[in-house]
Every structure is written in structure tokens, then in C-alpha cells.
């Protein structure tokens, strides 16, 4: 089983962002995986306002809408650790905004830059989130010092002790992330509106490989939970 997912970070500029989203739809259609992917939506980029039409199109395509928030990786660079309450508040606002538009409960989450804390999983439990896809097993996740030269820390997380691909963190089921099967719309279309052919070919070949050799599922749609997903999707 493999989950193909998209992180909904966009540009501050509206037009290249819309072009990137709509090209991603065409890209997924061409690869034959429409309806089989998860979009982790970062509402800092106005998905429920500026890109509401595109957000609703994701729903129409029967693709999963999850939540994507950068709070923890930003905390790491500031050298601080947010409490469960702070994380709950940070996650709850965009979650409610997105749910109001899509009309169903969000079940899955991904943190920015693959950063996580134990407090994060407690906050997710309290929010009713059932699945997380933030962790990359066996890897040290470094802060990009070129992008963030003033970061207080060099490492987001050391995951070398994590070996399993799926496991529980409290009541939240972790379906681990992989850099080979997720991307951003902005990885395909540059800020100037041109297409990034190198990434289009790279991600296209990777998705085709996984489509041929693995069963594709949404992050919160393992077969044993399909009834639950259908219920939450239509409520």
C-alpha cells in the first residue's frame, strides 16, 4: 500500500498558485490517479477564500482533504516548544475553516518540514484527527540553513530510531511520509508560471511506478476504515 499526497503550500501571488493547482489536477488525471490522493491543505495560503473554487474541486474529484500546518517547524527554528493547548489552537482554527467549506470532518494531518513533537499527537487526538503523515522513518530531518540562517536549531527531528512504516502514536495512527510520493503544486509550476519539467518527469515516473506495483490509498482510507471515511465524507 502507498499513499500519494500533495502538500498545499502555494505562492503568495494568486495567478501562479492557481496555475500550479490546476496543472496538478491535469497531472494527476494524466497519470490515472484521480481520486486516489490526499491533499494536505495549508490555509495560510487562502484555500478557503482565494482558492475556494479549487478546494471544492478537490472534493468533487473525491480526493481526500487533510490539514497541513507549519507551527512546529517554525517553533523549532525559534528554539521553543509549544504546549498541547497552543498546538490545539493553532490547528483548530484552519481545520474548522476548511471543514466549513468542504462540508465534512478532516481526519488526517501533516506537519510542515516533517517536524513533530509528542505534544502534537496529543493535540491531534483532542481535535479528533485519526491519522498523521508527518514522520519520515530512519532519517534525521535537518533545518535548511540556507533558507533559515538564523534558526536556533540545526535539526527538526532525529527519526533514526523509528523503523516501522505504520504505527500508533497514542490514539493517532501514523502512516509515515516519504519524499518520493509527495510533492507541492509549486514543485510543478514555478513562480514565474513556467513548468518545472525536471520535477514533472521525476514525480510522474515515481507515481507511475507506485501505481503499477502498489495499491494506492488516501492517507485516511485504509480498507478497514473505508466505512468510517465514507461516513465522515458525507456527514
Residues comprising the chain, all counted: 235
User: Shortest CA distance to 21 belongs to which of 64, 50, 46, 51?
Assistant: 51
For residue range 59-112, list pLDDT tens digits in order.
999 999 999 999 999 999 999 999 999 999 999 999 999 999 999 999 999 999
C-alpha cell at 150: 538564523
Range of the structural domain that residue 36 is part of: 4-234
Domain count, the chain: 1
pLDDT tens-digit map of 27-57: 999 999 999 999 999 999 999 999 999 999 9
20-28: average pLDDT = 98
CA 43 – CA 65 distance, rounded (Å): 12
Who wins on pLDDT, 178 or 170? 170
Residue-level pLDDT at 208:
96
Q: How confident is the model at residue 235 (pLDDT cuts 50, 70, 90)?
A: very low
φ/ψ of residue 98, rounded to 5: -70, -45
Half-sphere exposure of 135 (CA within 13 A, CB side): 26
The owner of cell 487562502 is: 46
pLDDT of 234 reads 47
State the cell numbers at 69: 500546518
Residue-level pLDDT at 180: 74
Question: Across the chain, how many H-helices and E-strands are there?
Answer: 8, 10
Cα(first)–Cα(last) distance of the chain, in Å? 27
pLDDT tens, position by position, 181-225? 899 999 999 999 999 999 999 999 999 999 999 999 999 986 555
Element (H, E) at 66: strand 64-69
Provide the CATH number for the domain around residue 52: 3.20.20.370
Beta carbons within 8 Å of 112's beta carbon, 6+ residues apart: 9, 42, 68, 69, 70, 71, 72, 73, 74
Write b or e for each residue in 212-229: b if 16 or more Cβ atoms lie within 10 A of its Cβ, otherwise e. eeeebbbbbbbeebeeeb
Residue-averaged pLDDT of the chain: 94
**Dist. CA 151–CA 144, nearest whole Å:** 9
Amino acid at each position: 500500500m502507498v499513499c500519494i499526497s500533495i502538500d498545499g503550500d502555494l505562492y503568495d501571488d494568486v495567478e501562479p498558485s492557481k496555475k500550479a493547482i490546476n496543472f496538478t489536477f491535469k497531472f494527476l488525471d494524466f497519470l490515472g490517479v484521480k481520486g486516489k490522493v490526499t491533499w494536505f491543505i495549508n490555509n495560510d495560503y487562502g484555500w478557503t477564500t482565494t482558492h475556494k473554487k479549487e478546494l471544492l474541486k478537490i472534493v468533487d474529484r473525491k480526493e481526500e482533504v487533510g490539514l497541513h500546518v507549519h507551527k512546529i517547524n517554525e517553533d523549532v527554528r525559534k528554539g521553543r516548544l509549544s504546549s498541547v493547548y497552543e498546538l490545539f489552537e493553532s490547528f483548530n482554527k484552519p481545520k474548522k475553516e476548511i471543514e466549513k467549506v468542504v462540508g465534512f470532518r478532516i481526519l488526517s494531518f501533516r506537519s510542515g518540514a516533517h517536524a513533530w513533537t509528542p505534544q502534537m499527537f496529543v493535540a491531534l487526538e483532542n481535535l479528533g484527527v485519526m491519522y498523521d503523515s508527518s514522520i519520515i522513518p530512519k532519517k534525521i530531518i535537518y533545518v535548511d540553513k540556507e533558507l533559515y540562517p538564523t534558526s536556533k536549531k540545526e535539526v527538526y527531528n532525529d527519526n533514526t530510531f523509528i523503523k516501522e512504516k505504520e504505527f500508533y502514536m497514542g490514539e493517532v495512527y501514523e502512516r509515515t511520509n516519504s519524499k518520493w510520493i509527495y510533492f507541492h503544486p509549486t514543485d510543478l509550476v514555478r513562480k514565474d508560471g513556467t513548468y518545472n519539467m525536471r520535477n514533472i518527469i521525476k514525480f510522474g515516473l515515481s507515481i507511475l511506478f507506485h501505481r503499477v506495483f502498489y495499491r494506492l490509498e488516501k492517507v485516511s482510507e485504509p480498507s478497514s476504515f473505508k466505512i468510517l471515511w465514507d461516513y465522515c465524507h458525507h456527514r
